[in-house]
Amino acid sequence: GENVEQHPSTLSVQEGDSAVIKCTYSDSASNYFPWYKQELGKGPQLIIDIRSNVGEKKDQRIAVTLNKTAKHFSLHITETQPEDSAVYFCAALNTNAGKSTFGDGTTLTVKP
């Protein structure tokens, strides 16, 4: 089955700096890669996703890159703000199978 590894497990940055979280996956059939932000006591919320036919996607301060050959994808947050502090999860999904496999999460702390 699919295996997703996420690094780092914790990340602390100064407000205004950039943050990068990386994930690798094992199943070459995976073709959909969402990123979720989870705040304390809440369910995960989708912040950005990328599909296998695209190498990069950007939405304001958030961007995701995908390298299918190397089987890794990354989340980039620029100009970080304290409200970006949360746990971020990556996931990999084979849309023909319907099942998502999640990384273990990264706790991001943005210091004011």
Partner 1 sequence: GAGVSQSPSNKVTEKGKDVELRCDPISGHTALYWYRQSLGQGLEFLIYFQGNSAPDKSGLPSDRFSAERTGGSVSTLTIQRTQQEDSAVYLCASSLEVIRLHSPNEQYFGPGTRLTVT
Residues in contact with partner 1 by CB under 8 A are: 4, 6, 31-32, 34, 36, 41-46, 49, 51-53, 89, 91, 93, 95, 97-105
36 vs 73, beta carbon nearer partner 1: 36
17 vs 59, beta carbon nearer partner 1: 59
Q: Which amino acid is at 41?
A: G
Structure tokens at 13: 């940055």
H or E segment and range at residue 35 = strand 32-38
CB of 20 to partner 1, least distance (A): 18
CB of 96 to partner 1, least distance (A): 8
Quickly list DSSP for 65-103. Answer: EEETTTTEEEEEE-S--GGG-EEEEEEEE-TTT--EEE-
18 vs 54, beta carbon nearer partner 1: 54
Phi, psi of 19, deg, nearest 5? -130, 140
CB of 101 to partner 1, least distance (A): 7
